[in-house]
Structure 1
Amino acid sequence: MSDLPEPKPRAWTRWLTLTGFTLFVLACAGAIQLNSTIVGITATLPPTPDIATLPVSVAVTDRDGALLRPFTTSDGRWRLPVDRTAVDPRFLAMLIAYEDRGFADHGGIAWNSMLRAAGQYVGAGGRVVSGGSTLTMQVARLIEGEPTRNVWGKLRQMVHANQLEQELDKDQILDLYLTLAPYGGNIEGIRAASLAYFGKEPTRLTTAEAALLVALPQSPEARRPDRDPRAAEASRNMVLDRLVAMGALPSEEAIAAKLEPVPTARRGFPMLAAHMAEQALKAQPAARAIELTIDKRLQDALERLGTARARLIDPKVSVAIVAADIDTGEVLASVGSAGLLATESAGFVDMTSAIRSPGSTLKPLIYGLAFELGLAHPESLIEDRPTAFGGYVPVNFDGFSRGTVTIHDALTESLNIPAVVVLDAVGPARLVSRLRRAHADPRLPVNTAPSLAVGLGGVGISLRDLVSVYAAIANAGTPIDLHDGVKPPADDQHAGSNPSVLDPVSAWYVSDILADVPPPLNGSPGRIAYKTGTSYGYRDGWAIGFDGKTVIGVWVGRPDGAPVPGLSGITGAAPILFEAFDRLGSRKAPLPKAPPGVVFASNTQLPGPLRRFRHPDEGLVARDAAPEIAFPGDGVDVDLGLTSGDISPLMVKVRNGVPPFTFFANGAPFGRPEFARQSTWSPDGPGFVTLSVVDAEGRGDTVTVFLN
């Protein structure tokens, strides 16, 4: 075997071969122009896709078109719908300058580039060095999904490109490229690539970002920045250098762009309003893009809030939040859980539509019905004392009775007994009927009629339904059809002229009372009208409120229905509610002013029948028992500072019984407040004292204590 080097081909041989190949290409070009059926290629070409029907990832967007959540195509690809108008013009200019400077003028084939490619093919001994492909030819290759690293494949691509140019305009061809170009893995198209590598839409790209996105489709797997950042950086810099050499980019701009780091990992695609997006996709499975009424900024803020708050309570606790526009019924935010992927708290379960016990959240509607029926006014007095309704004996949350209170205070303090007394008067069936007028769907036990237990949570209802009820109260009693934009309100069974939930005056009375409910520690009084609720066994904590423009509902609990010790609406849900209103930004609005017909009066100024709430059939309401001295307890020692000189009066408190009460110390009366359940007495000195109280019906109680 000779050690001499292999002789190089003579120059005239190379030129002869090149000339022959060029003539062959030109002949093929003539054939394309004269008869596109050359070698039967055209007959086997796939149909030209319509960009409007090209399979793409379904993009669920917010009210302004911002992406909330995309879904992969049926074959698992991220290929988001996009067109040139949604892409940074800088990228488009760099793409055309780098890939196909004659794009606007050629008919699909750049013959000068083909001649160059032919020369490189011959010089490399029959190996394709550069394809000479136009953007149109690249689109043809992407449509067919086959590589073209040989002459015959290139010829087929040329024929296909010619056909595309005849059937589509330049903008349509460019849109196909922007949608189909590969960017590594299952990412296709400029929009998916920009989101995956930069976490943003391609509307505004830096020079470095645009250069990388120009470079990646040429060799997407080898240049993937999440797998080989160095290769990605080198390809980006190569694009920058060529653009500078072509005069398409200032050298200073390229130098600065090279200093920008390339991404080293793929970012997750947006997953806001995940539960609602899934429901929207099920409702419109053939849609390419679905626009919801969601406000992306608010949705993101409330999802972060719910996740953070749930983490502080318990890993197994979830949080759901619904915010809606009172005027239009548009759902502005819908947080279904404390994180879709949170396994401990079953994040995949959408708790905005879960049926749960509402606790005390229906009390405002109960009192609203009493106002509407003329049975009460916010300043009407009502008894809060043990009362039995057949075998049903409600008790207050803390187990204590307050005696005589106003309707206003009964609601702000969420007392159970007065609410049930009023519900018995207005009727549980009427309450359920008004819930349905508000487009809620209360769930009663099978084959049972509404009972008094409904008023304290003995019914199933969803968070979204409760928000709908409170939206009606906030809207002067007029029902609002909550909707997310997937189905127009006119298509809903509730659309049209519906009877009111409450009359405007009664609705305002309720709103005005709820504005006086004491806020949680992180809230300020009077900002919103709101109500809390806690279901039996500490399973659900609720808080629903509204200002003049927005209604927000919050649910806290475990999706599996297990108790959460210590959970309550005021401690668990109310702080989240007030923080949610803090995140409304410019949407904040004051509560509405009183409508005509509102009566501003103290109890003594009210008409006689309204001064005290009376059950229409007092005989059906069984009354309990005699008064009891709640403080001080019998036999206890009470330190009033009598021996140290820093003397404090003795406070005596009574529960149960019928006011007014008369208080006695060692047989001598010392106080007879009209309706109060407490009084003070100043002793002469230390020692034993006998305290007594007698109510309006002559019943009494006595204790003996030692004062020091």
Structure 2
Amino acid sequence: MRGLRLMRARWLWWLAGALLILWGMVVAADRLWPLPLQEVNPARVVVDENGTPLWRFADQEGIWRYPVTLEEVSPRYLEALIQYEDRWFWEHPGVNPFSVLRAAWQDLRAGKVISGGSTLTMQVARLLDPHPRTLGGKVRQLWRALQLEWHLSKREILTLYLNRAPFGGTLQGVGAASWVYLGKAPAQLSYSEAALLAVLPQAPSRLRPDRWAQRAEAARNKVLDRMASQGVWEVSQVRESREEPVWLAPRQMPQLAPLFSRMMLGKSRDSKVVTTLDATLQRQLEELALNWKSRLAPRSSLAMIVVDHTDMKVRGWVGSVDIHDDTRFSHVDMISAIRSPGSVLKPFIYGMAMDDGLIHPASLLQDVPRRTGDYRPGNFDSGFHGPIGMSEALVRSLNLPAVQVLEAYGPKKFAGMLRNAGLPLLLPAGAQPNLSLILGGAGARLEDIAAAYSAFARHGNVGKLRLQPNDPLLERPLLSPGAAWIIRRILANEAQPLPDSALTQVVPLAIKTGTSYGYRDAWAIGLNARYVIGIWTGRPDGTPVAGQFGFASAVPLLNQVNNLLQSRSAVDEARLPRDPRPASVGRGVICWPGGQSLPQGDTNCRRRLSTWLLDGSQPPTLLLPEQEGIRGLRFPVWLDNAGQRVAPDCPVAKETTVEVWPLPLEPWLPQAERRAARIPPASQTCPPLSQAFPAPLILSGIREGAVIRRLPGESQVSLPLVASGSDGVRWWFLNGEPLNAEGRAYTLRLDRAGEYQLLVMDEVGQVATVNFLLQ
């Protein structure tokens, strides 16, 4: 008896040891041959915010997938899949012995393979680790199935099947099949569609619905009948589903936003990269770009970006005109490229200057020739316009007034403010910010410019672009709410102050254009009630395009994009964001030339203007030291009873102040407004102590409005000119372009008919100008 117990104990020890060794071998095998779950170069897809695929990136074998979770697939599909493929999936340990025995019996009776008896877990094992259809291959499949059940939950195994099952050609996974074959998300499958996709992986090549619709329909009906016989779906529902034909359009691979999708791969490591784009809008924008292609010059491209400024989500991104046209460098994303921004930065300098109390919307600025060292900026329309208000200067995008304001504000401060808000201006190595910044003398990106323009709709704060839905909404201050509101209204052609009852609460489209030096870049930035629209056209290689400028080349395209965005229902219109007048913005009346309010009847109010005012501020007319010296525009004078200027100590001398226009504006003023007429004459009996007013600059040799005709047989006209008056160097300009002359006399030679503006400037800022016509 004792010997029997010893023998039984010995056998138990041997059994335990054997089981322990067996377990060690299993663990070792699991470590030596782990599940191949990680792919080196997995298939990836970029989708819009609603899950619509934009662009797919296949794996190294050319396979592409649309990753889904169980919650992102229709319950109908899951019911059809499990009931038809593996009814006991949730109960068995990865292998269903009853199914294996049943399949073996059916195969023996028929003398051929009728049923494989594979569970969903075993199918996943074969998909992860393909093997030959041999006995050794079957053992390997069983081992992988047990590994799956060991390491993963049932939900994880089922998710692997949903994303790895073959659906014909290069498609894997129900997500990719649903989008390519049916054009819809797998969560929206009907009963018929769910049954079709459930059976396709059994023979994906033979049942492809885009090639073999009848075979696919027969297989689908088999699944439908199974669902009815097992009581999973209602018989009436199955009957209706059987009547649906299997008809599919040719397979459509996702081909939207290629450059944006390529960029997003570097920002996320997910297999499915979810973005903020709107696939419907993106498709419309790309079609618009292709239709616009024929209007572009050879080798030219375009770029469009649409941003919802209420939440800073990027809704559309077209980086090139046609991704398939290599002659236009279409693989270069011009939204992220560094280009000269032209004049699109001007709204920012005017807004910043208002916040600093330098100007207000009706401030008198000077569109006259300027010379700062070797820098002599001109206007796009090759001329000068004299006195101009800030609002009009911004709307007409005049260069000289913007340079004047930037010089007063400071180029370094301007560049620093923009950089802090997320709009860096890129200069050559070692270069410092200078006055050319405001005319495009530094590089910038369209994406940064579009983001910066959101400040005019976000109460002065610049929002950071959101490329994925989970990106946080970040913003930085740039302008005060009042300055941002005023600039936006000016750009929307609503500079004239109106009562709140007459003021539109939904702001119409505000537009700013820009053209870089040499016609290399044409820009248009638009701001409607909800979106910022950025447009660029030009050549990616930076070569000029003759005749290309913002208003003609970019604005028409911007208007078409705006029309796309505005084509919405009345319900959507009612939900558009409002932009009420901030409390810091009020209405006021100021006078030129001083730039401040004056009482009615004051003789120094030479022109009265209504304007918006920020915090009630009325800064005086902005002057530059080299133009006016220390005298400014306010001339204190003493007058006698006859109204003549006298010395302060003369009898009956009364002090008064005469406000004059800035000296460089003289040529554009009527005779009655010029200094000679505004400042009273000096008295002969008690003359003032000083009469040191600069001698007027006079241009001789041609009169205003002259029509000049060439002599018979002559192709060129020579005009001897003389600038007399004050002393010093003279600078000559023709149609805004500097001429190579600095003396009192100059001979102008012209050989081309047309309208001309000739201008000469002296060292104290006086200007003489004349307009004439050459026939």
Q: Given the two structures, how large is their TM-score scaled by the length of structure 2?
A: 0.67
- 3-state DSSP of counterpart to 1:376: coil
Who is 1:617 aligned against?
Answer: 626
Structure 2: which amino acid aligns with 1:531? K
**Structure 2 Cα separation of the partners of residues 87 and 699 of structure 1:** 78
- Aligned residues of 1:37 and 1:43 also touching (Cα < 8 A): no
Once the two structures are TM-superposed, the CA of residue 531 in structure 1 deviates from its matched residue by 0.8
- 3-state DSSP of counterpart to 2:559: helix
1:100/1:699 CA distance change after superposition, 3 Å: closer
- Aligned residues of 1:42 and 1:160 also touching (Cα < 8 A): no
**Structure 2 Cα separation of the partners of residues 122 and 353 of structure 1:** 66
Tell me, yes or no, if structure 1 residue 143 matches structure 2 residue 89: no
- Aligned residues of 2:370 and 2:377 also touching (Cα < 8 A): yes
- 3-state DSSP of counterpart to 1:405: strand
Tell me the alpha carbon deviations over residues 219-270 of structure 1, each in whole angstroms, 9 at most, x when there is no partner. Answer: 2233334554554444444444555566656377457545523436322125
Tell me, yes or no, if structure 1 residue 430 matches structure 2 residue 416: no
Q: Which moved more, 1:322-331 or 1:369-378?
A: 322-331
Structure 2: which amino acid aligns with 1:606? Q
- 3-state DSSP of counterpart to 1:543: strand
- Aligned residues of 1:229 and 1:264 also touching (Cα < 8 A): no
Tell me, yes or no, if structure 1 residue 128 matches structure 2 residue 113: yes
Alignment gaps of 5+ in structure 2: 1-18, 496-505, 599-617, 630-661, 668-696, 711-722, 724-765
Once the two structures are TM-superposed, the CA of residue 375 in structure 1 deviates from its matched residue by 2.9
Who is 1:263 aligned against?
Answer: 248
TM alignment of 1:619-634, pairs within 5 A: 633=707
1:133/1:461 CA distance change after superposition, 3 Å: same
Give the aligned CA root-mean-square deviation in angstroms: 4.2
Who is 1:560 aligned against?
Answer: 541
Tell me, yes or no, if structure 1 residue 502 matches structure 2 residue 479: yes
Match of 1:393 among 369, 372, 376: 376
- 3-state DSSP of counterpart to 2:519: coil
Who is 2:656 aligned against?
Answer: none
- Aligned residues of 2:36 and 2:129 also touching (Cα < 8 A): no
- Aligned residues of 2:705 and 2:770 also touching (Cα < 8 A): no
- Aligned residues of 1:208 and 1:260 also touching (Cα < 8 A): no
- 3-state DSSP of counterpart to 2:186: coil
Who is 2:208 aligned against?
Answer: 224
- 3-state DSSP of counterpart to 1:192: helix
1:214/1:83 CA distance change after superposition, 3 Å: same
- Aligned residues of 2:341 and 2:514 also touching (Cα < 8 A): yes
**Structure 1 Cα separation of the partners of residues 312 and 537 of structure 2:** 23
**Structure 2 Cα separation of the partners of residues 61 and 465 of structure 1:** 23
**Structure 2 Cα separation of the partners of residues 460 and 306 of structure 1:** 24
**Structure 2 Cα separation of the partners of residues 374 and 389 of structure 1:** 24
Tell me, yes or no, if structure 1 residue 531 matches structure 2 residue 512: yes
- Aligned residues of 2:589 and 2:597 also touching (Cα < 8 A): no
- Aligned residues of 1:181 and 1:189 also touching (Cα < 8 A): yes
1:701/1:489 CA distance change after superposition, 3 Å: closer
Once the two structures are TM-superposed, the CA of residue 568 in structure 1 deviates from its matched residue by 2.0
Who is 2:582 aligned against?
Answer: 594
Who is 1:671 aligned against?
Answer: none
Who is 1:513 aligned against?
Answer: 490
Match of 2:171 among 187, 194, 197: 187
Match of 1:407 among 390, 396, 404: 390
1:547/1:52 CA distance change after superposition, 3 Å: farther
**Structure 2 Cα separation of the partners of residues 140 and 35 of structure 1:** 26
1:216/1:419 CA distance change after superposition, 3 Å: same
- Aligned residues of 2:344 and 2:512 also touching (Cα < 8 A): yes
Structure 2: which amino acid aligns with 1:83? T
Tell me the alpha carbon deviations over residues 610-652 of structure 1, each in whole angstroms, 9 at most, x when there is no partner. Answer: 564422431699959768877574579xxxxxxxxxxxxxxxx
Who is 2:439 aligned against?
Answer: 456
Q: Which has the higher contact order (CA 8 A, sep 6+)?
A: 1
Structure 2: which amino acid aligns with 1:268? M
1:48/1:253 CA distance change after superposition, 3 Å: farther
Alignment gaps of 5+ in structure 1: 1-33, 519-524, 637-655, 657-696
Aligned identity (percent) is 37
- Aligned residues of 2:200 and 2:208 also touching (Cα < 8 A): yes
- Aligned residues of 1:387 and 1:622 also touching (Cα < 8 A): no
**Structure 2 Cα separation of the partners of residues 254 and 121 of structure 1:** 32
**Structure 2 Cα separation of the partners of residues 163 and 325 of structure 1:** 48
1:36/1:200 CA distance change after superposition, 3 Å: farther
Tell me, yes or no, if structure 1 residue 201 matches structure 2 residue 185: yes
Tell me the alpha carbon deviations over residues 387-414 of structure 1, each in whole angstroms, 9 at most, x when there is no partner. Answer: 4334333322222332322121111111
Who is 1:103 aligned against?
Answer: 89
Once the two structures are TM-superposed, the CA of residue 356 in structure 1 deviates from its matched residue by 0.8
**Structure 2 Cα separation of the partners of residues 704 and 410 of structure 1:** 26
Once the two structures are TM-superposed, the CA of residue 48 in structure 1 deviates from its matched residue by 7.4
TM alignment of 1:349-498, pairs within 5 A: 349-485=332-468
Match of 1:280 among 242, 248, 264: 264
Who is 2:197 aligned against?
Answer: 213
**Structure 2 Cα separation of the partners of residues 199 and 264 of structure 1:** 9
Structure 2: which amino acid aligns with 1:509? I
1:396/1:136 CA distance change after superposition, 3 Å: same
- Aligned residues of 2:514 and 2:522 also touching (Cα < 8 A): yes
